[in-house]
């Protein structure tokens, strides 16, 4: 039995992944932004071990979530599922665009602070293809805001983070996933992809049911259980390091180049 923590899992793909993992006999810890959503999540998945509550829109909230997760003991896998699309132009109390805060900075903070599990899964999107990293203007101070472009850039940033982890942490299997355009609260009811297919890959990466290409993969990008070619920028180690440095400056939390693995030590 594996233990898996899933961010942004009170609804949508995160909750569905939790349901499928629990049905396979694994222990699942959910995450919700507030107590009300936590209650809804437990009602939807009463088999869950617990729900960690915390707002990933702020650095303090992300740190609190990481602290709570570590207090529960080491996990086998962490699925970075939380994300926002519309309304992301808002500025958080930390002076960061909300979309960047949730989609990029929060997984960076959690990756840096949570005791490294064996498997890390980062949800990206096919929309990252063709986007520019624009790491010199992630806060859109020099450009007019665009929901779709900001989201696309953030999902490229997520892959930069995932592949940096895979490169710098050889003891961890870190991969990116495009779940497709699925009918969730974010995706909307006009989405054309299947919801079950949308969570199947991250479920298999988190707790492989059998030995397969997915079970041994690291530094890869998947869509519907198959490896896909990501945007070439995501493979640029200089861009990866630039993103890590940017997130470190913004959050005040350094990325651990050589983390303590398998011991629970921080």
Instruction: Indicate which residues carry an active-site annotation.
Output: 151, 155
The encoded tokens of residue 121 equal 């899964």
Instruction: Enumerate the H helices of the chain as residue ranges.
Output: 12-23, 35-44, 59-71, 98-100, 106-113, 147-168, 195-206, 213-216, 237-251
141 Cβ partners below 8 Å, 6+ apart?
Answer: none
Spatial distance between the Cα atoms of 74 and 114, rounded to a whole number of angstroms = 9
Helix and strand totals (H; E) in the chain: 9, 8
**CA atoms of 201 and 178, how far apart (whole Å):** 9
Cα(32)–Cα(152) distance, integer angstroms: 24
Give Cα 191 to chain centroid, integer Å: 21
**Sheet strand arrangement including 3-6:** 50-53, 27-32, 3-6, 77-80, 119-123, 173-178, 221-223, 226-227
What residues does 77 pair with on adjacent strands?
4, 119
Neighbouring C-alpha atoms within 13 Å toward the C-beta of 13 = 31
What are the residues facing 132 on neighbouring strands?
none
Whole-number CA gyration radius for the chain: 17
Residue 244 burial (C-beta neighbours within 10 Å; 0-12, 13-18, 19+) = buried
């Amino acid at each position: 039995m594996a233990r898996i923590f899933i961010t942004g899992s009170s609804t949508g793909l995160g909750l569905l992944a939790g349901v499928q993992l629990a049905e396979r006999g694994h222990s699942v810890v959910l995450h919700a932004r507030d107590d009300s959503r936590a209650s809804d999540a437990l009602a939807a998945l009463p088999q869950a071990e617990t729900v960690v509550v915390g707002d990933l829109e702020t650095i303090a909230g992300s740190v609190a979530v990481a602290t709570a997760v570590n207090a529960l003991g080491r996990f086998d896998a962490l699925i970075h599922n939380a994300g926002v699309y519309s309304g992301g132009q808002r500025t958080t109390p930390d002076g960061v665009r909300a979309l960047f805060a949730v989609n990029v900075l929060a997984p960076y903070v959690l990756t840096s602070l949570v005791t490294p599990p064996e498997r890390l899964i980062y949800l990206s999107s096919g929309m990252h293809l063709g986007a520019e990293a624009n790491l010199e203007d992630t806060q859109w101070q020099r450009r007019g805001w665009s929901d779709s472009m900001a989201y696309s850039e953030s999902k490229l940033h997520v892959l930069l983070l995932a592949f940096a982890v895979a490169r710098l942490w050889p003891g961890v299997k870190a991969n990116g996933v495009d779940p497709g355009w699925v009918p969730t609260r974010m995706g909307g009811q006009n989405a054309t992809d299947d919801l079950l297919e949308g969570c199947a890959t991250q479920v298999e990466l988190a707790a492989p049911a059998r030995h397969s290409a997915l079970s041994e993969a690291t530094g890869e990008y998947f869509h519907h259980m198959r490896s896909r070619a990501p945007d070439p920028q995501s493979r640029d180690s200089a861009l990866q390091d630039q993103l890590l440095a940017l997130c470190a400056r913004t959050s005040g939390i350094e990325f651990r180049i050589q983390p303590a693995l398998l011991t629970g030590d921080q």
